């Protein structure tokens, strides 16, 4: 896993957002956001309905949590909403308690993209807000100003788990982990977090269970009616 200096990454992402499109995503946040609670945000994609060229390139946006470790700038670290239709301007998000320390100053970030493509179109940011009721702890990696640049892979539900992986395997060497075996162990640890805590997978399984339950209830009801009749 390659680490990137957070300052350089924030600058690069800002320039990328400015050069790829004129659309600016507007994000309105409250003064405070409470960890673990659902919050409805107003997010406008900035892509006009008549802008057919932009709509060929983008049909959705993704919402992220952007953290600001002490002494460093803000940058997206994990995604909160994987795929939101372009014209949807009300979005519910929930920030897990272990995503950041209590009373951290955070931003919400968003990026335009086209479904089915791997890249996104730079990042727009909200104003700062305060995260209340959180219980995360900064890792030394974050305090050293290094970022793993995997916000399009890591959900915020898994971010606390992946942070603990970095706490376990980060050695203070800002270019790599101590040796090849440590890097492999870190990657395996992160992969396990993603497998266990990816809400898309959980949601799919929950939907399947719910659908199966409904079918069983319907079949049981029909059988009961036939018996009565």
User: pTM for the whole thing?
Assistant: 0.77
CATH placement of domain 4-197: 2.60.40.2550
Query: Which pLDDT score is estimated for 199?
Result: 80
- Asked whether the beta carbons of 59 and 45 are under 8 A apart, the reply is no
Which ranges in the chain belong to alpha helices (H)? Answer: 6-20, 52-57, 140-143, 156-169, 180-197, 199-228
List pLDDT tens digits, range 174-208: 555 444 557 889 999 999 999 999 887 543 333 33
> Would you call 114 helix, strand, or coil by DSSP?
coil
Backbone φ and ψ for 23, nearest 5 degrees, come out as: -70, 135
**Radius of gyration of the CA atoms of the chain, in A:** 21
Residue scoring higher pLDDT (31 or 20): 31
* Annotated domain spans of the chain: 4-197
pLDDT given for residue 76 in this prediction? 96
Q: Is the pLDDT of residue 210 over 70?
A: no
Mean pLDDT value across the chain: 80
For the chain, report the end-to-end CA distance as a whole number of angstroms.
66
Positive or negative: CA dihedral 206, 212, 215, 220: negative
């Amino acid at each position: 896993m390659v680490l990137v200096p957070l300052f350089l990454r924030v600058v690069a992402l800002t320039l990328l957002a400015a050069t790829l499109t004129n659309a600016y995503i507007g994000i309105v946040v409250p003064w405070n956001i409470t960890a673990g609670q659902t919050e409805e945000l107003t997010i406008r994609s900035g892509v006009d309905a008549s802008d057919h060229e932009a709509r060929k390139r983008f049909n959705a946006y993704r919402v992220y949590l952007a953290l600001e470790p002490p002494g460093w700038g803000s940058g997206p670290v994990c995604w909160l909403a994987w795929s939101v239709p372009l014209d949807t301007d009300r979005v519910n998000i929930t920030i897990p308690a272990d995503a950041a320390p209590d009373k951290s100053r955070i931003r919400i970030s968003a990026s335009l993209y086209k479904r089915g493509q791997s890249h996104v179109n730079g990042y727009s940011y909200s104003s700062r807000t305060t995260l209340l009721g959180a219980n995360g702890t900064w890792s030394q990696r974050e305090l050293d100003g290094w970022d793993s640049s995997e916000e399009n892979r890591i959900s915020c539900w898994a971010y606390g788990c992946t942070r603990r992986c970095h706490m376990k395997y980060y050695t203070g060497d800002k270019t790599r982990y101590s040796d090849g075996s440590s890097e492999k162990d870190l990657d395996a640890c992160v992969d396990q977090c993603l497998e266990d805590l990816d809400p898309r997978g959980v949601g799919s399984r929950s939907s399947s269970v719910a659908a199966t339950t409904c079918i069983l209830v319907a079949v049981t009801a029909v059988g009961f009616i036939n018996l009565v009749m």
